[in-house]
Amino acid sequence: MTAGPGSGKTTVLVERYIHILREQSLSIDQIVAITFTNRAANEMHERLRSELNQMLRIANEEERRRWLNYKRTLDGAVITTIHGFCARMLREFPIEARVDPQFLLLDEHRAAMLLELIVEEVLSEFISNGHVEISRLTLGVGRSRLAAALAQLYREARGQGLSLEDLALATARVHATEEDHVRALEELDRIMTEFLGIRRTTKAAMTNQAEVLAAWTEARKLLRQIPGHESLADYCRLVENFRAHRPQARAPVADHVKSLDSLIWGKELQGRVPQVCLDLFARQYALEMVNLLLRVDQRLNEEKQKISALDFDDLELRTLSLLERPEVIARTSERYRFFLVDEFQDTNAVQRVLLERLALAKGRRPANVFIVGDRKQSIYGFRGADVDVFREMTATLLAAGGEERPLQLNFRSQPPLIAFFNHLFARLFQVPLDVPASEYKNLDQLGYVKHEKSEPKRELRDEGTLVELLVTTKPSLEDDPRAEQDSRVLDAQQLARRILALTQGPNAVKYGDIALLFRAMTQVSIYESVFRRANIPYQTVLGRGFYEREEITDLIQLLRFLDNKTDEIALAAVLRSPLCGLSDNALLALRSSGTRQLYTALRHHAEIEFISDEEHELLDRAAKLIGELVDRRHHYPIQDLLRYAVHESEYMTVVAANFDGAQRLANVERLFTLAARFESSGTHLIRDFVRYVEEFEAIGSRESEGQIDQASDAVRLMTIHQAKGLEFPVVIIPDLQRLSRVATDNWFLLDRHNGLTLKVPDGRGNLVAGCTFTSFEQRHAWREQFESMRLLYVAASRAEDRLILSGVTEEIATLGTKNDSWLKWIWQSLELGDRSQSGVVQLDHDVELQLTLNLADEPTDLEAPVEVSQTNLHSADSLTEAFPLIRPLGPLSSIAIHRFSVTQLINYQRCPRQYYFDRVLQLPSADQMAIWNNAEAPEPPANLTATLKGSVIHRFCERYTPDQNVEECLRQSFDEVVRLRQAQLSDRFIEIDHEAAIRALLPLARNYLASDVFRRVEAAPKIPEQNSPPPAGQDGLWSEVSFRLRRPLGVLFGIIDKLLITHSAAGDPEIEIIDFKTNRIAYDKSDVPHAPEPPRIRTPKGGQFAFDFEDEGPPEPINRHPSLEDALKIAAEDYQLQMQSYALAVRELLPALAGAKVLVTLHFLDPNVEVHLADELLEPVVCEQAVDEGMQRSIFSADPRLFPVNTAPHCRMCNFLRVCEAGKEWVRLNWSTDDAD
């Protein structure tokens, strides 16, 4: 049955169920009813109970006993989701299914985490075993990105019901073959021969002909053979270079040039010949990925077998295998005689085959199958649902003697709405013009659905136009303050005005009758903000955003602190939150106190000045609460800790007073439930739950907000997917201007009908697509477009009484161009043209539309919130005067004397945003940020910071002499540094494991002693006073040379590790600046051959490094780290400005040696490599310009927009990562957890 929206599908299913009970002699558990959600199953259960009560009231005495028995056994009825039914089957036949009947069902998070773990393991295994394609893919796309892709591909393949074996066969079949390559070359030979044979008449044309002939002669030699992995870069470069000889497409060669464009001269390797060649590589890579996934599947099953666990896909796949056994088919055919399936358009191929085996398998008595669905409402493609499955199942049922019946009656919406739906979607559900006729036979596979008209069955209730289109144009005037506003702000403002108008007057609707249905909730906060200002009550039903809600963040920060007491940021957040309620002034006083730790300051707040008595009372309560939680943290479950904190702080009372208090309370309760569910799976630490929450969000879970009172009078904000199956008196579809773009960053594509393909690494750092990928990409774009049409249809058809469409555009004229948003789809489908006036548009004889332009421009203000005293606000000259704490930070005074450390400039060069956090906002510094964790959350055994480690090694390099014992000298250096820093280390002094520290530092010390740097240092004359200025012309070695250098913008100061002055054989002075670096360089050690001496690397002006190795071995398998050359290049670039500062200081502070040659040496002790900056980078003018520009950029603005984020590997170790969204996103996308080593 094809049932349209509002047709009463649930009613039909219930009536069908009752009809079966009435007409058939069977028990109630012989009927299987499958619903899409548990909510739908519960609703059907209750509807059946009501119908059975009705039957009992009208039945005679004989029938009454029968209906009473049905009612008594209703709780045993098989009314469930497909996963619920599969779980039932597996537990009913555990031996045949080879599963533990008490199997553990993994939730989405745990299944994803286990999969990611296995993928990483298998990926490492393949790389280690020399799988060339996987190694090159790792290099081409990055290890973390490849691992994420493999996990996603595995989930998608299983979700679409594809066996990996069938996927491999389809993949091999769909790609080009070597025969295709031969044919393409033959065609190229033929066209090129004709092209070169055409007589030219101009000198330029003849010259070009000769150039093409020469280039073709060379190119043909390489094109003849399919390149290997090593030569693919040369192949791509050859094709691109050959295109440079392409003449203009003019007579007499115009047609031939166009043909050659399609064969080889196409832009970006789009010619047929390179496309087929790249497709051969894509086939190899894709098949190797499938091969890897087969191993992943094997290992994953082994791990799940160990813990007797299944995931949701396992439920379907194991049941499918179970139904291959004849004895199971025989028993189920006797057991289940009727199958009723709802929302069949949202099923996948596995579920279709599952139903076929249950009901239509050979060797069993055919069951009665009744499926209900509507292809126009299939919107779950992202979960593996395939709209074509409904058509395939329909064909199967018809072949088995079944019937197909439409049900297009609509009992939900008023007739004018139905007329509008029929008018709009009949025009919108058309095949796009860019779909070629050759693809028409595949339209079903692409998800194309024809529109079927609905017939209204509800009486007309409201007069007037019931469909509205609100369009606001963005102001173009520079003096209009709204010109810079986000388009969604304007959209929210016009909707706020319309909602306020709807809820006023004699025919007012309730707020609770209105629902805003979004495609995505990423920008819903904009609408929330506008609605709050307009005093419009709302409830937001979020998916991913649950963990970003303020009340959830408060409690997660509390858990962070309880897990790690040195997490100052988390503690500050807790103190400022409603859990403690401290003011900014009190927090500042704590932070500014003499004690180093914020927690220590909190416990001794009575000794701190500038805190009021009222604040001291709050601090007493805060210290008592946090102290009690700290005492309980290792002895109480997480849920109990959270409940205790909420109860003792009266947190619920505070958050309930907010505008959306009911929602906040429900969210907190939901967090309690999540904590309880998490702990029920085993013993865990607090940090495990925090990670669970973070990664649950990161892997794309669909955890919704806590359920709230549905009777509350508030506007609903939700996604269209969340609204599926619901209906509302007034439906608003906002944000119509949102672009309907298909993701363009996909480098692999999976097609249920055609297999897998991907872009391939070209050996030059690029990913290039072959012809199959281009074809898949186009099919994917069409499939997304068709699903987007259906999504708009589902959203509109939720409306009972009124539909409001709302969007923003630059100008009306642009609505007729392109076709990249719902607003443009609607505007063009309704043929609204260049209308510039508001009014009622008569679209057809019974179809009307109220067009309203620029509602947000109307002069009336949005209704103010509840009246509050605003005397102080009105008396203030500005908002920042009323609220001084939100006043923007101004730029530093240009007349001040600025002091710059070299480290400061390095930090700015590395990442301006890090510098902004550190120097402008003055957030906690490196030491204050507690880079070391406490004993409860230890870092590497020694518990050393990079700063402390560097200080010890520098001290060792300074004091070591050949007559000393290396380990003893290192120990003395360590003790001396720690002793000098003991006051700074405070109570963390006892946390440092001295012996582990010595063991960790000893390899660095030995690397130094084995280096050429040490030999040069030892050979230099010793200077009695190490810190005295070096005299002119005197050779010697100076250590820890401090300097202060005056520049136009301020004073630069720093310390040079070692300064070595020598003279060449010709008597020319030479200065070597040596700087030790103790940070570990992560690189692919397989790229570095063993050499008797450490390699030296020189950085020329272009930034390229030159290695001087004695020999080179064969390339080893590629891993996730860059080569040593690339790793050192990245590291050296971070210190370039530092070295230029040193070179400038040496020249200006040692005028007697102004003409000396300056050499800068960066000595990376791990892995014991020297890097030298190019001479061009050390020229005086270049150094002056670099230093002055660095100073200038860092002092003349405090606007964060002028301090951009520079995302790179250093983000992992940045002290401000938690407050830098761009950094967190980069780390999530580019660095797996394994890369922390």
Where are the chain's structural domains?
2-103+310-407, 106-307, 445-537+713-857, 545-698, 902-1223
Interatomic CA distance for residues 478 and 957, integer angstroms: 61
d(CA 735, CA 795): 13
Query: Under DSSP, is residue 146 helix (H, G, I), strand (E, B) or coil?
Result: helix
Strands (DSSP E) found in 1136-1200: 1157-1164, 1169-1173
Please write the tens of the pLDDT for every residue from 1032-1083.
557 888 877 888 888 877 788 888 888 888 888 777 888 888 888 877 776 6
Kind and range of the H or E element at 1038?
A: strand 1036-1047
Model pTM score = 0.67
For 485, 531, 1088, 1108, the CA distances from 1091, given in Å and listed in that order, are: 61, 69, 9, 10
pLDDT in tens, 910-966: 788 888 777 777 665 444 443 333 323 333 444 566 667 777 888 888 778 888 888
Closest Cα partner for 908 from 1206, 1161, 1177, 1181?
Answer: 1206
Distances (CA, A) of 1198 to 485, 1163, 1215: 22, 35, 20
Q: What is the structure's pLDDT at 710?
A: 62
Residue 178 identity = E
Could you tell me how far CA 750 lies from the centroid of its own chain?
20
Radius of gyration of the chain (CA): 36
The confidence score (pLDDT) of residue 972 equals 86
Q: Kindly give the parts of the chain with pLDDT less than 70.
A: 363-364, 477-484, 542-547, 595-596, 659, 681-683, 694-711, 741-745, 856-898, 922-947, 980-992, 1022-1033, 1082-1122, 1195-1200, 1231-1237
Which residue, chain included where needed, has tokens 């230093």? Answer: 1187
Report residue 131 as tokens: 């799988």
Would you list the DSSP string of 806-860? EEEES-GGGGGS---BHHHHHHHHTT-TT--S-EEEEEETTEEEEEEE-GGG-SS
List, as one string, the DSSP characters of 1119-1148: -SSPPHHHHHHHHHHHTHHHHHHHHHHHHH
Ramachandran quadrant class, 1134 (left: phi over 0; alpha: psi -120 to 50; beta: rest): alpha
Joined tokens for residue 517 = 């249905």
Q: Nearest-5° angle of CA 506, CA 510, CA 515?
A: 135
Q: Using an 8 Å Cβ cutoff, are 290 and 171 in contact?
A: yes
Q: What is the Cα–Cα distance from 1139 to 1132, expressed in whole angstroms?
A: 10
Kindly list the distances between the CA atom of residue 239 and the CA atoms of 216, 268, 314, 698, 764, in Å, as whole numbers in the listed order: 10, 9, 47, 41, 14
| CATH tag for 445-537+713-857 (out of 3.40.50.300, 3.30.70.20, 3.30.420.40, 1.20.1250.20) | 3.40.50.300
Instruction: Give the total residue count for the chain.
Output: 1237
Type of residue at 818: K
Token pair in block for residue 875: 């008396």
Taking the C-alpha atoms of residue 704 and residue 683, their distance in angstroms, rounded to an integer, is 26
How many whole angstroms separate alpha carbon 86 and alpha carbon 81?
Answer: 9
Name the residue among 939, 1088, 926 with its Cα closest to residue 1000: 939
Select from 103, 853, 845, 166 the least CA-distant residue to 472.
Answer: 853
Beta-carbon count within 10 A of 971 CB: 19
- What is residue 899's predicted lDDT score, i.e. its pLDDT? 72
The predicted structure's pLDDT at residue 232: 92
CA–CA separation, 897 and 189 (whole Å): 73
Torsion angle defined by CA atoms of residues 574, 580, 584 and 588, in that order, rounded to the nearest 10 degrees:
-70
Percent residues over pLDDT 70 in the chain: 84
Distance CA 796, CA 804 (A): 9
Measure the CA angle with vertex 408, ends 403 and 414; round to 5°. Answer: 165
**Which residue spans within 611-705 are E strands per DSSP?**
none
The residue type of 530 is V
Instruction: Tell me if 535 sits within 8 A of 866, measured CB to CB.
Output: yes
Beta bridge partner(s), residue 850: 468, 840
For residues 1215 and 560, give the distance between their C-alpha atoms in angstroms, rounded to a whole number. 16
pLDDT of residue 1223: 83
Domain spanning 2-103+310-407: CATH superfamily: P-loop containing nucleotide triphosphate hydrolases (3.40.50.300)
Distances (CA, A) of 498 to 97, 307, 501, 847, 854: 58, 56, 5, 22, 12
User: Cα dihedral angle (320, 321, 322, 323), rounded to 10 degrees?
Assistant: 60
Helix (H), strand (E), coil (C) string for 761-821:
ECCCCCEECCHHHHHHHHHHHHHHHHHHHHHHHHHHCCEEEEEEEEEEECCHHHHHCCCCE
Report residue 924 as tokens.
């906690």
- The set of residues, in sequence order, having a beta carbon less than 8 Å from that of 200 and lying 6+ positions away, is 206, 208, 209
Amino acid making up residue 277: C
Which amino acid is present at 1044? R
Distance, C-alpha 501 to centroid of its chain:
39
> Do strands 1157-1164 and 1169-1173 pair parallel, antiparallel, or not at all (unpaired)?
antiparallel
Identify whether the C-beta of residue 466 lies closer than 8 Å to the C-beta of residue 416. yes
Q: Which CATH class is domain 545-698?
A: mainly alpha
Q: How far apart are CA 1183 and CA 1045, in angstroms?
A: 13
Q: How far is CA 599 from each of CA 595, 604, 631, 650, rounded to the nearest angstrom?
A: 9, 9, 14, 22
CATH topology agreement for domains 2-103+310-407 and 445-537+713-857? yes
Q: Which of 1046, 1076, 1093 is nearest to 1187 (CA)?
A: 1046
